[in-house]
Amino acid sequence: MIVTAISRCLETIIPDTNFPKKLPPSMSNKLKITSSLAAQIKDLGYRDDIGYQTILYCNEAEIRRIFMFLIEKLPRESSKTTHVEQTGYIPTLVKDIEHTVKKSLQQFWVPSSVLRNGCRKSDNIYIFNSLGNSRPLCTKKLKVPSSSKVYNNETLKQYWVHNVPAVTKQCSSKELLPSLLFEDSFISSEDISLRKCLKIASRPTDLLLQSSELVQATTKAESVKITEMTESETENKLKSLLEELNLRKNKCLELEDAVKSCETQLKLAIKTKTEDEEILQNTLAQVSLKSKTLTVISKEENLQKLKHMIEASKNKLLNLTEQWNQIQTPLLEEYKSLQNAISHKDLKRQQEQEKLRKLEETQKTLKIDLNEKTQLEEELRKKLQQINKTHNRSGYTRRILEIIGNIKKQDDEIQKILNDTKMVQREISNLTGQVDRSFTLADELIFRDAKQDETARRAYKLLAQLRDDCSSIIKAVTDLGAVERECRNLQEQIDSETGKESAVKLERVNKDLQEMRKETEQLLKQR
C-alpha cells in the first residue's frame, strides 16, 4: 500500500515517469526499488533523513511526514490533464478505502480471539478488527465469604482463614478479573453466552439486508461528496490539522517539561526528607544516650561506682605497663646481642671473601707466569733444534742447565712464599677465632651481671665499643697490608722497567729509523 501510494504520487508530480507499484519477493530488488523511491523524494526537496529503511520498515510518523510532503508537491492546476488526473491522489485513496470497507462488510463476522494479532486477510489487504491481545470472557466460581452474613462460629472463621485458598490461587490470572466481576451476579457466563446466541438467532435476516443496503448507499453518497470536494478545501483542512497538531505537540512538550521539573523537585524533596530523617535519628540516639548518662550521674551511688571503676582500670593499666616493661627489657637486650652477633658474622664473611679474592688473584698471576715460562721453554727448545750441530753444544747445555736451575730455585721460592702465606692465614684465622670466642664469652658473662649491676651494664657497653674498635683496627691493618703489597708490586714493575733499559732501546730504534730513511732517499736518487 505504501509503495503504491508513493509511486503514484511521484508519477503525478513528475510526468512521463513510471515507478513500480509493488515490491518483488527478492530482498535485493526490494532494496533497489525503495532506495530509488527515497532518492526521488530527496531530489524533490525533502529535508528530513530518508532511506530505503523508512519505506521498507515503515514508521507511522515518518510515513505521515512523507505523504504530507508529497501531497504539498502535487500539481494544483493543469489544463492539459484529463478528468481522472484532475481528481489527484485523494479520490483514488478514497476509492481504495471504499473498496476495503465494502469487502470487510461482505465478510462474515469472526470473534477477535480467533484472529491472529487481531487482523484478517481479504484478497491482498489485511483488515484490523481489534487488538490481538483480547480474549474471550471466561469466569469461574470462587469460594469467597459473603459480606452480608455474620459468622459467629470460630471454627467457620478459622476454615475461611486457613483452609480456603486465596482468590488468586483459585483460578488462573486470565480468569481472575471476570470471575471477580461476576461473583456477586446470579447469572453465570454460560447463561450470558446462551442469551446472546438466542438474541442473534431471533434477529430477522431482513434487518441485516437492510443494514447492508444502507451502508452501501451511504458509502456511495460519501464517495460522490468526496469527489466533489475541491483540492483547495482539502489543503486548507490539512493546514488547519497541521497547525492543531503542532499546537498539541507544543503543549505536550510543555507538559513533559513541567513533569520533569516536578520529578526533579520531588527527588530533591525525597532526598532532603531522608537526610532530615537521618539527622533526626542521630539526634534521638544522642538524646537517649545523654538522658541515660544523666540518669546514671544523678545518683551518688552510681557516681561512686564509676569512680571506683576508673581507679581500678588505672591500677590495672599501671600493672600491665610494669609487666610489659619486665618482659620487654630482656627481649630488647637479646635482640641487640643477636644484631651484634650478626654484624660480627658479616664482618668475618667479608674478611674471608677478601682473602679468597686475593688468593684467586695470586693464583691467576702464578698461572700467567707459568704459561709465559712454558712458552719461553718451548721457544728455547725450537731455537736449540734450529741451531746447527757444528756449534759448541756444551756451552748451550750449560746455559740451559743454568736456566733450569734458576727456574727450580724460583719455583722453590714461590712454594716457600705460598707456604708462608698459608701459615700466616691460618694464624690470622686462629687469632680471629680466639678473639671472637673471647668476645662472646666476655659478652655472656657481663650480660648475666648486667641484669642486676649498673657497672656491669657499663662494662657491657664498653665491651661492645671495644669490639667495634678492634674490628675497625683489623680492617685498617688488612687495608694497610693490601696497600703495601700494591706498593711492592709497583716497585718491582719499576725495577723491571729500569732493568730493561727502555730509554737506550728507544734511542737505538730512532737511529735505525734515521738510517732507513737515508737508505730510502739514496735509492730514490739512484732511480
Residue whose C-alpha cell reads 478528468 in the numeric block: 83
Each residue's pLDDT, cut to its tens digit, for the chain (527 residues) gives 788 888 888 888 888 888 888 887 777 777 788 888 888 888 888 888 887 777 777 778 888 888 888 888 888 754 444 444 445 677 788 888 888 778 777 777 777 667 766 677 777 777 766 654 556 677 777 777 765 555 566 777 777 777 778 878 888 877 887 787 777 665 544 455 555 555 444 444 444 444 445 445 444 444 444 444 566 777 787 888 888 888 888 888 888 888 888 888 888 889 888 898 889 988 888 888 888 777 766 677 777 887 888 888 898 999 999 998 888 888 888 888 888 889 888 888 888 889 888 988 988 989 898 889 889 888 888 887 776 554 566 777 788 888 888 888 888 888 888 888 888 888 888 888 888 888 788 878 777 777 777 787 788 788 788 878 888 888 888 888 889 888 888 888 887 777 656 676 677 667 767 877 887 888 888 76
* 515 falls within a domain: yes
How far is it, in rounded angstroms, from Cα 301 to Cα 307?
10
Q: What domain range includes position 427?
A: 334-526
How far is it, in rounded angstroms, from Cα 97 to Cα 266?
49
User: According to the model, what pLDDT value does residue 184 have?
Assistant: 62
Own/partner contacts of 177-180, CB < 8 Å, gap of 24 or more, are 178/137, 178/138, 178/139, 179/139, 179/140, 179/141, 179/142, 180/142
How far is it, in rounded angstroms, from Cα 44 to Cα 9?
12
User: According to the model, what pLDDT value does residue 208 have?
Assistant: 40
* 290 falls within a domain: no
Output the nine-digit C-alpha cell for 303.
557516681
Task: Examine the fold and report which residue of 131, 165, 196 is the final residue of a domain before the chain moves on.
Answer: 131
* 175 falls within a domain: no
User: According to the model, what pLDDT value does residue 223 have?
Assistant: 46
* 88 falls within a domain: yes
Task: Examine the fold and report which residue of 131, 159, 194 is the final residue of a domain before the chain moves on.
Answer: 131
How far is it, in rounded angstroms, from Cα 63 to Cα 4?
13
Distance from the first to the final alpha carbon of the chain: 117
* 137 falls within a domain: no
| Four-point Cα dihedral 247, 248, 252, 258, nearest 10 | 50
Output the nine-digit C-alpha cell for 305.
561506682
Burial of 460 (0-12, 13-18, 19+ CB in 10 A): buried
* 289 falls within a domain: no
The candidate with the shortest Cα–Cα distance to 48, out of 68, 72, 65, 31, is 65
How far is it, in rounded angstroms, from Cα 376 to Cα 368?
12
Greatest alpha-carbon span in the chain: 165
Residue whose C-alpha cell reads 544516650 in the numeric block: 289
Coil, helix or strand for 384?
Answer: helix
* 319 falls within a domain: no
pTM of the model: 0.23
| Four-point Cα dihedral 369, 375, 376, 379, nearest 10 | 180
> Structural domain tally of the chain?
2
Task: Examine the fold and report which residue of 89, 116, 131 is the final residue of a domain before the chain moves on.
Answer: 131
User: According to the model, what pLDDT value does residue 224 have?
Assistant: 45
User: According to the model, what pLDDT value does residue 154 have?
Assistant: 74
User: According to the model, what pLDDT value does residue 222 have?
Assistant: 47
How far is it, in rounded angstroms, from Cα 355 to Cα 369?
21
How far is it, in rounded angstroms, from Cα 50 to Cα 62?
9
* 218 falls within a domain: no
User: According to the model, what pLDDT value does residue 172 have?
Assistant: 82
